Amino acid sequence: MPELLSSMAGGFWLFLVFGMCGFFFGLILNHFLPLFLRLGPVPRGTFGWPILGETLRFLKPHPSNSLGAFLQDHCSRYGKVFKSHLFLSPTVVSCDQELNYFILQNEGKLFECSYPKPIHGILGKNSMLVAVGDTHKRLRNVALSLVTITKSKPEFLHDIETTAIRILHSWKEKSQVIFCEEARKFTFNVIVKQVLGLTPDEPQTTRILEDFLTFMRGLISLPLYIPGTPYARAVQARSRIFSTVKAIIEERKRNIGNSRKSDFLEILLTVNTLSEEEKVSFVLDSLLGGYETTSLLMAMVVHFLCQSPLALQQLKVEHQKIRSMKQKDEKLNWEDYKKMEFTQNVINEALRYGNIVKFVHRKALKDVKYRDYLIPSGWKVLPVFSAVHLDPTLHASAFQFHPWRWERQDQTCKKFTAFGGGARYCPGSELAKVEVAFFLHHLVLSFRWRSIEDDLPLAYPYVEFQKGLVLLLDHCSI
């Protein structure tokens, strides 16, 4: 009996041990192993420190027309696709044009936009930049139709040109300017006029600008909601802009039918697919999207032209030709813009070489097999655009500013994603380009310039010229 009992007990333990082993073995066999066998291993790489991972190394500043030490080191060790731990999450980093394209084209299916939580706190849940699914689609459809209506409208083009002339006119007595400040003034005045119909001298414009600058500072600050911190101030600034914009909307509603404005707001008021909150968020998105990025593009163009006298000369000839076909003081129109072919090449090259948006944030919605490896569900995925833009196997003389490459190259190719791609392709791309082109028209016809300090565009990862790009000016006549 005792033998029986002991053999039963032994049998029980054996059963338990084998059972447990079987369970774990089954788990591995049924879940992890097939995943591994079917979908392959995750890409090679390291996770770095606990919690922080490799985030600080990834964010270490470097000239925006270079890869930076982190990407250079990791790509040479692990290849163009590697794993890491960034922004508090296991991450697959992609410096590969095909994978980047695959990620962007599968938005909402395999991958989804996933900006860090603190950014949601500042932008608000109705912002197009963070919204997903149906909300994103509704907001985006409105944005696309607004841009289509606006971009070639004579009033819009006229506003851009008048704003450019006004800014350049203010340089008349100056021998030097801080270009980034001037460019921001220009893009803010253009976008605030276009979206809300406000001119620079209206008190509401000044109020919005002040709050907006606080809001922008918060976007790049430590996300601590403690009164007095830049983050907390940004959240408060957002709610003040919200109230200002709401008041403008209310006033417009009262005057509906009497006003003859042709701005975004006028059209937004007639849109019934968006709630009031979404309309206000839409205004904020347009200001945010249209301000810093476009002014930075202007600074990039001016900076790279300083180093390329041949390109500057060809640009000047193009604009002299366009001007020579117009009456004195006649305004530029959409046909003139279409004639600015070399200007477009210069803009595309500044976008490629300057990398205003280095990467975008995504996450995998399910386990994704790509080539031989697995991108696990829930992992962050970062398509790095700058790495593709600077890849010498894709762009000849990748580390040179060479606008002429765009004479033979289509700007809608996979290897150029300055405005993103797929379902989140930047709706403001054409607005940004026409603004830069019209400003350049008057700049090259009125001034010669050189930069006085070696001020490079640095990726922090938000790109900026640390000294604001100081230019020495020489006036010239056509």
Binding positions for ligand HEM, rule: CB under 6 A: 113, 128-129, 140, 143, 285-286, 289-290, 293-294, 297, 356-357, 360, 418-420, 424, 426-428, 431-432
Looking at the chain, the number of H-run helices and the number of E-run strands are: 18, 13
How far, in Å, CA of 146 to CA of 188, rounded? 18
How is the chain split among helix, strand and coil, in percent rounded to 5?
A: 55, 10, 35
What one-character DSSP code corresponds to residue 337?
H
Nearer to ligand HEM, 48 or 422 (CB): 422
- Give whichever of 265 and 357 is closer to ligand HEM, judged by the CB atom: 357
Residues 6+ apart with CB under 8 A from 244: 204, 207, 208, 211
Comparing CA positions, the residue from 469, 477, 154 lying closest to residue 298 is 469
Whether 449 and 473 have beta carbons less than 8 Å apart is answered as: yes
Name the residue nearer to ligand HEM (CB basis): 418 or 459. 418
Alpha-helical segments (H) within 170-275: 179-196, 203-219, 230-254, 264-268
Q: Name which of 284 and 473 has its Cβ closer to ligand HEM.
A: 284
* Rounded Cα–Cα distance for residues 436 and 298 (Å): 6
Q: Smallest gap, in angstroms, from Cβ of residue 399 to ligand HEM?
A: 20
Minimum separation from the CB atom of position 291 to ligand HEM (A) = 8
Q: Which is nearer to ligand HEM, 84 or 194 (by Cβ)?
A: 194
CB contact at 8 A, 177 and 471:
yes
The answer to the question of whether 426 is labelled as a binding residue is: yes
Smallest separation (angstroms) from ligand HEM to the CB of 285: 4
Q: How far is the CB of 22 from ligand HEM (least distance, A)?
A: 46
Task: Give the shortest CB-422-to-ligand HEM separation in angstroms.
Answer: 8
Least distance in angstroms from the C-beta of 138 to ligand HEM: 11
Q: Which is nearer to ligand HEM, 143 or 374 (CB)?
A: 143
Q: Between residues 84 and 114, which has the closer beta carbon with respect to ligand HEM? A: 114
Complex with ligand HEM: residue 214 or 355, whichever CB lies closer: 355
Q: In the complex, what is the shortest distance from the CB of residue 221 to ligand HEM, in angstroms, rounded to a whole number?
A: 20
Q: Provide, rounded to whole angstroms, the least separation between the CB of residue 28 and ligand HEM.
A: 37
Please give the sequence-ordered ranges of beta strands (E in DSSP) within 18-161, or none if there are none: 62-63, 81-86, 89-94, 111-113
DSSP structure class, residue 42: P
Report how far residue 90's alpha carbon sits from residue 93's, in angstroms, rounded to the nearest whole number.
10
CB of 446 to ligand HEM, least distance (A): 23
DSSP SS3 for 136: helix
Q: How far apart are CA 147 and CA 144, in angstroms?
A: 5
**Choice between 235 and 431, CB closer to ligand HEM:** 431
Binding site listing for heme: 426
